[in-house]
Amino acid sequence: MEALAKENERVCKKQKVCAMKTMEGVEKLLTQCVETRNRILALQNSSPEEPTSSAGVGNDVACLRDLQQKVREMDFLQQVNSHQKDLQGALAKLKKAVEKHFIPDVSKALRDQPLDKATLNEVIVQHLLREGRFELGEELMREAQIHMPEGYKDPYVQMHQVLEQIAAFNLKPAIQWTKERRADVDTEALMGLEFKLHRLQFVQLLHKEGRGPALGYARAHLSVFSDRWMREIERLMGCLLYANRLDRSPYADLLAPGLWDEIRQEFSRMCCSALGQARESPLSVAIRAGTIALPMLLKLVSVMQTKTQPEDWNECQQLPVEISLGEDFAFHSVFACPVSRDQSSADNPPMLMPCGHVLCKVSITKLAKGGANRPFKCPYCPGEATVQQCKQLYL
Amino acid sequence: MSFTPSSSIETPLLKGPLESLKRTVKDRKTVLEDVQTLASEVTTSEICAELTSSEHIEKLDSVISKLQGFKRKLKDAASEEEEQLQKCRARIQHLALLTQGPEPVKKWRALHLDRLLVDHMLRCGYYDAAKQLADSSKIQDLVDMGVFCKARRVVDALKKHDCTEALQWCAENSSRLNKMKSKLEFKLRKAEFLELVRKRQLMDAITYARKHLAPWANTYMKELQQAMATLVFLNDSDASPYKHLFAETQWDDLVDTFHQDNHQLNNLTLESLLTIYLQAGLSVLKTPFSYQPDCSVEDPLHLPSYQALAAGLPYAKHLHSKLVCHITKQLMNEDDPPMVLPNGYVYSLKALKEMSQKNGGKIVCPRTGYACEFQDLSKAFIS
């Protein structure tokens, strides 16, 4: 990318030079013509009684010959051509650099199947609301004529009100929210978030108001966390020693501004989780997956098209290659039968054999060759089993 | 600093301004050549001694005004070039984020999604929302609003059955449209001809056809003949085999053709970028598990709207099993293997150990409530 930026800057420089020089060239020509014109005009004015006198005309002709000579000397195209060629050359190099690294047609992997506009717009509105861009969401709903049910944005509005408060360094609404949730759902993650909020609040109080208020706050709020977060509480008590010089203490990391961004993110994820929604906007997740998958899909399509019997990209029910997205995208288990390499589904669940190996139901049925009580051998160990002995697994 | 795969598919981002830049530079060359022609004329023209001073002055004035015209054109070209180069610079900087570390990559992702949304909104005609989003995310240089705003006038006019704007656009871009073998102008002329027929202005229609449809006779003979036949059948005869030519859908088809040509002209993809990425993303996330009721909420495909969008797309291929524990939400592996309860439910060893320690050796399946002892668990070997 650096190389590309450099080429771009080169083109910029050449363009500036070229623009300047060409403008200069045209200006020169213009000046000459205007000068000649004014001279002829001046001559005309100085001898109006003899418009066709040979002297008057001779002067005109002399002026014009002069002009011709000057223009010939200027040799306009010669001057500016080199700059123009330079510019075009630099531009061609930039284009080549781009063509080398970028895939020419990114829409090759598209299937002949448009996404339903109305659903897509709804999905976009949901995403915008979740991100707190309420005005934009409203605008889009207006232009695209989307109707959402009553109270659709209330939970998000509440969430973003709290987030705005956190951005303004006021943690009270967030702490209130976690306390209320604790009554319903007492999970470790929730407690963790609440503790972090209290910790930030403690450090803030210590920094702004001093030891007394901070200690009072700790006494009031931190005791409930003592069994799991004792080590952290000890650290916070240590901070009391460095009340006025926390930034030069071993606990300086508790002052990092990044902690506030982190807490905002964690709060919004927890909030969405509490609403029964994904921790990250589904649209972001889908697009991220697409960004990873698309280069491989494009390669795949070009390979498929060069095969002797080109398969129709539009017809395949399953992607022909495995595209690994990484751990971030492991939302749920995936079971691929080691024998058939098919994915398990409701109709074809994974089955546990007594020896501990797992195959999909279809493979086991095939191995047993129709006899529910006929023992068959496990492909991976000497163990034998019957279909009846196999247990369906729920992953 | 190398190119990442994610940046290799950002071709449309750079291609647009680069191609425009190339054209502007070429235009400048034409202007320079015109100036040179003028200069040669001046140097080689015979100076007629019989002309009066005023006539000489007149001639010079015409040269001067032409030069001033060229000067303006050069100025316009220079400012166009600067604009395009600024766009290139901003876009390259944007792509550079991908190589600068995890935080810049997160920023790139957010901007990337906003860009895709703006592109989608512009293509659907939601211009105000698009502008608002572009301004609030400060991505004006990264999106092609100018192209779509220019197109807006044409599309609005076409929707009102008015072809004037569109024909003007064709005239402005005629050389490149001819290179592309675009059918747009012919379709527009045909539409105007049919309008005249519909209004029963038959003589006008014939004159129009002679002037504007005849030149296309060689290329689109059959369609021309069909259009001419409507003179006989007119538009309200149910028996007319050409009734479909007067349908409302013809105008929609015109708008589509315009969009296709406009996008091709400006090096934009024919389909919206959002569609391209979303189709790929949905497909690679689609698994049969996503459609089951106890699917994790983190999977976008558990939502009905995403399932609807993904209908008809191929499933992702998985050759290897990946097991995620329902309790810890983490991947199971050799260090943390899957354990099976007597009722067939599977959880990670780590989660079950912890549960058993907290409950005195007892295990309760979180999904079914089934209770058993830690000793009742058996190991599963899943590769």
If you search the block for the tokens 């989003």, which residue do you land on?
Answer: B133
Cross-chain residue pair B314–A319, CB shorter than 8 Å: yes
Say yes or no to pLDDT of A157 above 70.
yes
pLDDT digits (tens, 9 = 90+) for A244-277: 777 788 888 888 888 888 888 888 888 888 888 8
| Residue % of chain A over a pLDDT of 90 | 2
Q: Tell me, what amino acid is at B184?
A: L
Say yes or no to pLDDT of A346 above 50.
yes
For residue B12, which residues of chain A lie inside 8 Å, CB to CB? 106
For residue A133, which residues of chain B lie inside 8 Å, CB to CB? 133, 136
What confidence tier does A21 reach under pLDDT thresholds 50, 70, 90? confident
Q: What's the pLDDT score for residue B118?
A: 92
**8-state DSSP, B338:** E
For residue B347, which residues of chain A lie inside 8 Å, CB to CB? none
Cross-chain residue pair A23–B136, CB shorter than 8 Å: no
Interface pTM (ipTM) of the complex? Answer: 0.83
| Averaged pLDDT of chain A | 83
Cross-chain residue pair B321–A327, CB shorter than 8 Å: no
Say yes or no to pLDDT of A51 above 80.
no
If you search the block for the tokens 């071993």, which residue do you land on?
Answer: A250
Contact A57, B49 (CB under 8 A): yes
What confidence tier does A29 reach under pLDDT thresholds 50, 70, 90? confident
Cross-chain residue pair A293–B121, CB shorter than 8 Å: no
For residue B322, which residues of chain A lie inside 8 Å, CB to CB? 330, 333-334
Comparing alpha-carbon positions, the chain A residue that sits nearest to B41 is: A68
If you search the block for the tokens 């860009």, which residue do you land on?
Answer: B115
A46 CB-contact burial (10 Å; exposed 0-12 / middle 13-18 / buried 19+): exposed
The β-bridge partners of B331 are: B324
Cross-chain residue pair B60–A37, CB shorter than 8 Å: yes
Min Cα separation B302/chain A (Å): 10
Nearest beta carbon to residue B136 from set A136, A325, A356: A136
Instruction: Write out residues in chain B with pLDDT < 50, as ranges.
Output: 1
Element (H, E) at B346: strand B346-348
pLDDT digits (tens, 9 = 90+) for A362-381: 888 888 776 667 788 888 88
Q: What's the pLDDT score for residue A168?
A: 86
Burial annotation B147-161 (CB, 10 A radius, 16+ → b, else e): bbeebeebbebbeee
Q: What's the pLDDT score for residue B1?
A: 38
* Residue to substitute from B2, B10, B22, B25, interface A, most A β-carbons within 10 A: B25
Interface contacts A/B by beta carbons within 8 Å:
395
Q: What's the pLDDT score for residue A185?
A: 64
Say yes or no to pLDDT of A8 above 80.
yes
In sequence order, what are the residues at sequence separation of 6 or more whose Cβ sits closer than 8 angstroms to the Cβ of residue B101? none
- Residue of A203, A277, A271, A263 lying closest to A233 (CA atoms): A203
Say yes or no to pLDDT of A60 above 80.
no
Q: Is B3 helix (H, G, I), strand (E, B) or coil?
A: coil
- Give the residue-averaged pLDDT of A133-159: 85
pLDDT digits (tens, 9 = 90+) for A200-222: 888 888 888 878 888 888 888 88
What confidence tier does A283 reach under pLDDT thresholds 50, 70, 90? very high
Cross-chain residue pair A279–B280, CB shorter than 8 Å: no
Cross-chain residue pair A123–B305, CB shorter than 8 Å: yes
d(CA B272, CA A75): 50
For residue A28, which residues of chain B lie inside 8 Å, CB to CB? none
What confidence tier does A54 reach under pLDDT thresholds 50, 70, 90? low
